[in-house]
Chains A and B, each alone.
Chain A
Amino acid sequence: MTDLLDIFLSASFWVALVRIASPLIFATMGELICERAGVLNLGIEGIMVFGAFAGWLTVYLGGGLWLGVGVAMLAGMAFGLLHGVLTVPFGLSQHVVGLGITLLATAAAYFAYRLALPEVTSPPKITPFAPWPIPGLAAIPLIGEGFFAQTPLTYAGFVVAGLTALVLFRTPLGLALRAAGENPAAVEAQGLSVTALRIGAVAVGSGLMAVGGAFLTLSAFSSFFFEMVNGRGWICIALVVFGGWKPGKAVLGALLFAAFDAGQIRLQQTALGATLPYQVFLMAPYLLSILALVVMSRRASVPAALMVPFNKGER
């Protein structure tokens, strides 16, 4: 018990919590935008891998950190565009195309990495984003350092989440987007193109997923290595469900998940941690995600037209 208390009362726990949550917030917002428009994007895992790689490569080749973020975003949008074109106008299975994009983007990143660096044993490092402490706020005891002494990319994540909520629920574009995911026929009746809305949503959402991946290389780990995304994309899909397709709740879910993850890493160092195999702690986040899905699935209001292709003129 005192172990747990020690963990919660350490500033490093709060710093780790927000750092772990940041990539999840970007990618979860990306997935949420896609699903609100009616498209399940299982390309998320691979797009995060590619974003992590593209951001890292840009900086490794001499580009700036923000350029890296931009390149990752554009690359993510390109994969999103491919996903959107195949699933929306062509109406292909969103499950199959999504997994296909994940395989394609992951393989593309690994292939290009091997081309760029044929025989490296230890992944080369870059200089990642440095923390930007916000004067005053960063001095708040305990949580100040966690929330207000992070890298700019973390702040950007929270801004993106705020913007997502704002656009989705306070603008005509957001209304049209949500309607495309709830009642596409009504959107067409208004003279808007469901196809354009959905493709646009998937492209933008995929761009955010890639930025989430780039956070890993540009802000968290400072190098690219294989299997670094490690299921984070799938966890973000669970977070969207957990958040009931609402940005605010999804961010809360990401923070809760990160608290758990940061906690389990620290618990491994305690007396309790010594008695259990480390794999028990590592599998806890995945089991927790499944549990969260079970608890929230009953209450969740899924977008009515999620995974339903829309073919103009067909009733």
Chain B
Amino acid sequence: MRLEPVANPGLLRRLGLPAAALVATVVTGSLLALSAGADPLATLGLIVTGAVGSKFAALETLNRATPLIFTGLAVAVAFRAKLWNIGAEAQLYAGALVTAVLGAHPIVTGVPGMALIGLAAALAGALVLLGPVLLKTRLGVDEVVTTLLLNFVLLLVVSMLLEGVLKDPMGMGWPKSAPVAKSVRLPRLIEGLRLHWGFGLALIAAGLVWLMQARMRLGYEIRAVGLNRAAARFAGVPVGAVLVKTALISGGLAALAGFSEVAGLKGTLTLDLSPGFGYTGVIVAMLAALHPGGVVVAALFVAGVFVGSDAMSRAAGVPSYIADLLLASALLYMVLAMQLVRYRVVWR
């Protein structure tokens, strides 16, 4: 077999194939529920109601989606340039670390204080990714492995600091940082609803990324570098500089996930701040076909699967790891579907 490009994929092809991927995911979920001895329809129903069935559930989903929008955007921006940033987890923790340090004893309070802390957090994340990218552009070191390995290093740095200088003396012995001061905690988006401004910031970030990609020179250059690095260089695009800028944006976005979790949702830094938001960002970005608007939708979907599965697991006893399995299969089905939109299989 071989692949032949489809010149102008029709609407049926462009919508039908992703829909088929979604159906395949649901079928996979049913089989998993069956394997756990549960009723498939009831299990899937419980996941849906657990994700959006009540005001509490829906708010929980929105809160869970917030860091995923940031990490998803981070991955989407980088992958557009074929910069394989798989270190969003490390960048997230760098941002969280800076937020915890500056937020515990803020010098500037109120909105300016929050903005300063957010900027500092983003800068920290950007710097964490800058290292691997400079190694790549200067020395040709593959960034996949370096960014992956840095995830483990950063987590150990956070662990060291939480058991050392950052340990909250009032923390009853738990390794967590001193609480972020009330004056720089992100306020609620709407009074009375348990949803903080981090979600609003995530939506704004998605809008800005869209603006950058669609309307700015840098967006065009990033796309050119991603499509064909040699051709971009030949056309006069400063490939190295574009990759560095991409890295700064991507690392900064991932760090804002950490900022939003610490200054918004949690108010303190712990070692279990992120249950793999950085890695899940890859799923979010790919489900969204690297489109910033799609990232928001995909993050809501992924968050819903996680929150819904947790609720379902408590009620029906199917292990909550079903969420990770569903999302990993959804990812593979979707990338296959997207490929088949653009290519048809020819047997001969």
Residues of A within 8 A of B (CB): 40, 42, 82, 86, 89-93, 95-97, 99-101, 103-104, 106-108, 110-111, 114-115, 118, 230-231, 234-235, 237-238, 241, 277, 279-280, 282-283, 286-287, 289-290, 293-294, 297-298, 311-314
**Are A297 and B145 neighbours in the complex by a CB distance under 8 Å?**
no
11 additional contacts (CB under 8 A) given A86-B332, A103-B324: A89-B1, A96-B331, A96-B335, A100-B328, A100-B332, A104-B325, A107-B324, A241-B145, A287-B153, A298-B139, A311-B2
A286 to B154, CA, bound (A): 10
Question: What A residues does B39 contact at CB under 8 A?
Answer: none
Asked if B327 lies at the interface with its beta carbon under 8 angstroms from chain A, I say: yes
Question: What B residues does A277 contact at CB under 8 A?
Answer: 160, 163-164
**Are A103 and B279 neighbours in the complex by a CB distance under 8 Å?**
yes
Contact partner of A289 (CB less than 8 A), chosen from B139, B145, B282, B343, is B145
**Are B328 and A280 neighbours in the complex by a CB distance under 8 Å?**
no
A106 to B329, CA, bound (A): 12
Work out how many contacts link A and B, with CB atoms closer than 8 A.
Answer: 129
If A95-B144, A114-B321, A280-B160 touch, whether A90 touches B3 (CB-CB below 8 Å) is yes
If A106-B324, A114-B319 touch, whether A99 touches B336 (CB-CB below 8 Å) is no
Residue of A nearest to B323 (CB): A107
A82 to B324, CA, bound (A): 18
Question: What B residues does A106 contact at CB under 8 A?
Answer: 324
Prevailing SS type, chain A contact patch: helix
A176 to chain B: closest CB distance in Å?
Answer: 19
**Are A290 and B146 neighbours in the complex by a CB distance under 8 Å?**
yes
**Are B149 and A289 neighbours in the complex by a CB distance under 8 Å?**
yes
Can you list 12 A-B pairs, Cβ within 8 angstroms, ordered by A? A93-B335, A100-B335, A101-B328, A103-B279, A115-B36, A231-B152, A234-B148, A241-B142, A279-B157, A293-B141, A298-B140, A312-B2
Residue of A nearest to B146 (CB): A290
What's the interface size class on B, roughly?
35 or more
B246-281 residues at the A interface, CB under 8 angstroms: 279
**Are B282 and A99 neighbours in the complex by a CB distance under 8 Å?**
yes
**Are B321 and A97 neighbours in the complex by a CB distance under 8 Å?**
no
Question: What A residues does B317 contact at CB under 8 A?
Answer: 118
Asked if B84 lies at the interface with its beta carbon under 8 angstroms from chain A, I say: yes
Question: What A residues does B148 contact at CB under 8 A?
Answer: 231, 234
**Are B319 and A283 neighbours in the complex by a CB distance under 8 Å?**
no
A294 to B146, CA, bound (A): 9
B291 to chain A: closest CB distance in Å?
Answer: 15
A71 to B32, CA, bound (A): 21
